Amino acid sequence: MTAIRLRTRYFGITSMIVGLMVVTVVSLIAHTMVFAGESDQHLKEAADGLRTNAEEMVAHGGMGDAKAIIHHCAETSRYAESLIKQLSTSHPGREEGIASLNDVIRHCKRVAEIGIHADPGVLLNPAVKARTAARASVKVLGLTK
């Protein structure tokens, strides 16, 4: 009878260890899925900010507001840099998306170099190019609404 009890206890401990391992693995998978969802949410928020500021930048250019063009261009550039930092190496379309985001940053730097005292029409050309690159990057990265 004692041999049966020892086997029962041994079986109980083994099943408890296996059960704990299963719980640990399941919780790790759940945490990974939650973090992936949070990262996707941050990417989508940054893409929305990029898209919104790029559209506002060009809209203010049509109204002749050079100060607003420069402000929104700086914000667009900030969102582009944020997206570059957040993209994982396994994200589909990453290389092409980063190239477009770098174009956004380059064109926005050109707007800043031209400066606030320039004619808004002069600022509008690189601003439109930055908006086009922003749209392309959001589309390639699959972060459209």
- Asked whether residue 2 carries a pLDDT value surpassing 70, the answer given is no
| 97 lies in some domain | yes
| 75 lies in some domain | yes
| Percent of the chain topping pLDDT 70 | 73
Q: Please tell me which of 31-35, 101-105, 113-117 the model is most confident about, judged by mean pLDDT.
A: 101-105
pTM of the model: 0.71
Rounded to the nearest 10°, the torsion over CA 92, 39, 88, 79 is 90
| 5 lies in some domain | no
| 91 lies in some domain | yes
**Which pLDDT does position 22 carry in this prediction?**
64
**Which pLDDT does position 35 carry in this prediction?**
47
Domain that holds residue 100: 39-140
Q: Is 79 helix (H, G, I), strand (E, B) or coil?
A: helix
- Domain count along the chain: 1
63, two tokens:
């109204």
| 88 lies in some domain | yes
CATH number where 89 lies: 1.20.120.660
- Asked whether residue 112 carries a pLDDT value surpassing 70, the answer given is yes
Lowest mean pLDDT among 5-9, 13-17, 135-139, 141-145: 5-9
- Alpha-carbon distance of 75 to 92, in angstroms, equals 25
